[in-house]
Amino acid sequence: MLRKVGYKDIKREVFNRIRQNEWAPGELLPGEVVLAAEFGCARATVNRAMQELSDDGIIDRRRKGGSRVKLTPVRQATFEIPLVKSEIESKGAIYTYQLISSIKEVAPLWLQKQLSLSAYTRVQHIQCIHYADDRPYQYEDRWINHNTVPLSAEFDFNTQSPNEWLVNEVPYTNAEVRFSATISDVKIAQALEMANGEAVFKAERTTWLSDEPVTFVTLYFVKGYEMLISY
Amino acid sequence: MLRKVGYKDIKREVFNRIRQNEWAPGELLPGEVVLAAEFGCARATVNRAMQELSDDGIIDRRRKGGSRVKLTPVRQATFEIPLVKSEIESKGAIYTYQLISSIKEVAPLWLQKQLSLSAYTRVQHIQCIHYADDRPYQYEDRWINHNTVPLSAEFDFNTQSPNEWLVNEVPYTNAEVRFSATISDVKIAQALEMANGEAVFKAERTTWLSDEPVTFVTLYFVKGYEMLISY
DNA sequence: ATTGATATTATGTCTATACATAAAAATTAT
DNA sequence: ATAATTTTTATGTATAGACATAATATCAAT
């Protein structure tokens, strides 16, 4: 006996037709009513399938315009931005952390530009190292906007890393990360206990709370670090 | 007059309560029926809101177990894996491409291990360079499995890059990318017209078609390259 | 030809209801 | 006590019907 078709069946079938070029990039797909008739199910079921395909970046949908196959049906990969602590512990290592400095100061010019801050905005500048099994794992160089996060001026970052504290205490609405490769300079090399001139994986993250910059952080990962994404 | 509550309102409200620690990490949330009563809507509406929060990585849901706030409410970022060609053209630069070599050979040992290939599996080894405005942008070092993609033995990769050809012709079911930083050796430095010992952003991607390895590629990006992700 | 009003249409969303299913909880058998 | 079985429950999914909404298409007026 034939099983009832579910939205997952429809999703798979439509995806296959797209993959096999039965429906080519840019092409207008049949409407939900038509597909519902073909698959013998309710329109709502087709709707859910198509909506997820849209979320997955396979098709574009517009009211009245209908659904069409994306011109570049790029698959989207999702990856999680974990807490360093969780990341380290999930590898079975013991997490420790050391604060190097926490200074209240006026935002330097480059940071003003980077975060579109007004002049003389005060920021908290924090530098620290995250360890996995007592070996350096990540060097964190962070700036927190006093205007949006006044509490940062008082908190004792010896007890908890700014990373963890912010995640737990300060919400954000949107963020941006820039990944790149760089060469270890003296400061980084010393902090991460590696030679000078080594390849370092670098991440620069900025977060905002409804257009107000919250924090800017540069993370330097120890030599050999890999960021893995499956999809 | 009050508007009807939609699933987006519920999603936002629940998210806010979680952010403001009204519902803490690990905590069991009210069931869908309860929430539906509170918000004065149908259970299906709450269901959609909660399902999306689950997709977004905010909460965990289990049948009978109910929904709870994720212990580490990590936000997921989605990013697209673009075609090099599209990536370059979207920056307003002119894309060109040069094939260096395309050789049919038996998979070397390290690749056999990497892709879990049986011994003596034949592969196509392709090396090429992608240019933006005639300046090197990316060096591609690719291996294609002849068993899964026999056509790769015949195709003339002078006319189209393996990247583009594969995306258009060969489907895959899952993939894995590893991003890291490395130092340019002689070969890479020469290909990307940069000095020896510079920092290079590296990506290694493996794709499978239902457990059959399709291709393994190492991409080296020119000095200064940044991968940007917003979320 | 251009503008503006109006109709049309495909998707977006909500509802009430029903049944499915996984997993925890309670109960019974060993 | 422990294992096997049944019950309960929260989520998962499907449906028919309804109305909302955005965007296109059409047609009328300038």
How confident is the model over A98-111, as pLDDT tens digits? 999 999 999 999 99
Helices (H), B59-133: 84-89, 109-115
pLDDT tens-digit map of A145-156: 999 988 888 889
Q: State the amino acid at position B87 in one-letter form.
A: E
* Residues in CB range of A32: below 8 A, 6 or more apart: A43, A46, A47, A50
Judge residue B80's burial from the number of C-beta atoms within 10 Å of its C-beta, 0-12 exposed, 13-18 middle, 19 or more buried. middle
Interface of B with A in 121-160 (CB under 8 A): none
Q: Does residue B65 have a pLDDT over 60? A: yes
- Provide DSSP, chain A: -PPPP-HHHHHHHHHHHHHTTSS-TTPBPPPHHHHHHHHTS-HHHHHHHHHHHHHTTSEEEETTTEEEE-SS-PPEEEEE---HHHHHHTTTPPEEEEEEEEEEEEPPHHHHHHHTPPTT-EEEEEEEEEEETTEEEEEEEEEEETTT-GGGGT--TTTS-HHHHHHHH---SEEEEEEEEEE--HHHHHHTT--TT-EEEEEEEEEEETTEEEEEEEEEEPTT-EEEEE-
Domain ranges of chain A: 7-69, 84-221
Pairing state of beta strands B174-183 and B199-209?
A: antiparallel
φ, ψ (nearest 5 deg) of residue B112: -55, -45
Q: Does residue A8 have a pLDDT over 80? A: yes
pLDDT tens-digit map of B113-166: 988 888 889 999 999 999 999 999 999 999 999 988 888 888 888 988 998 888
**Poorest-pLDDT segment among A66-75, B32-41, B118-127, B204-213:** A66-75
User: Is A34 an 8 Å CB contact of chain B?
Assistant: no
User: Which residues of B are less than 8 Å from A55 in CB distance?
Assistant: 55
For the domain made up of B84-221, the CATH class stated in words is alpha beta
For the domain made up of A7-69, the CATH class stated in words is mainly alpha
User: Which residues of A are less than 8 Å from B178 in CB distance?
Assistant: 226-229
Q: Does residue B1 have a pLDDT over 50? A: no
Q: What is the pLDDT of residue A79?
A: 72
For A164, the token pair is 């963890």
Would the CB atoms of B181 and A182 count as touching at under 8 Å? yes
Q: List bases in chain D with any atom under 7 Å of a protein Cβ.
A: 8-18, 21-24
Length B111 CA → C21 C1' (Å): 43
User: Is A209 an 8 Å CB contact of chain B?
Assistant: no
Nearest DNA or RNA nucleotide to A34 (CA to C1'): C10
- Closest listed residue to residue A18, CA positions, set A62, A63, A49: A49
Q: Does residue A46 have a pLDDT over 90? A: yes
